Amino acid sequence: MRSIKFPDIFNRTTTNISKDYYATLQNLKMLLYSNKGELFGDPYFGSNLKKYLYDQNDVILRDILIDDIYTAITTFMPQIYIERNNITIKSEDNKVIINIVALNRANYQTDLYSLVLLDTIV
């Protein structure tokens, strides 16, 4: 799989391209960090993770976030296969980390994708 490398899109004479694991990681970040309705051509692209940013931290909220992540990935990223129980959310100090274990359908390798959802500097 290949994807245009963001934010370093252009070099002096060429377009920068991400490959394989890094392309999938970049696409995951773009999907999960964008709100629904932000993409001009597809108003359903994205997730509602920012909507729950200031809600009470409990087990129910974690299940809602995992459901939202699972639904977004299965809908908009056919290049990877995930199961709901392979998505974990944990809090460390002032960070919220999402770990996703997924099967990449391009090369049939299982990869771990780790995203920092919330990182505050104190």
Sign of CA dihedral 19, 30, 46, 71: positive
* CATH number of 89's domain: 3.10.450.40
pLDDT at residue 111, rounded to an integer: 92
DSSP H or E stretch at residue 29: helix 20-33
Q: What is the pLDDT along the chain (122 residues), one digit of tens a residue?
A: 677 776 677 777 887 777 778 888 888 888 998 888 888 888 889 898 888 877 777 888 889 999 999 999 999 999 999 999 999 998 887 788 999 999 988 888 999 999 987 665 44
Number of domains in the chain: 1
Can you give the residue range of the structural domain that contains 91?
2-119
Enter the tokens of residue 17: 């391209």
DSSP H or E stretch at residue 104: strand 95-104
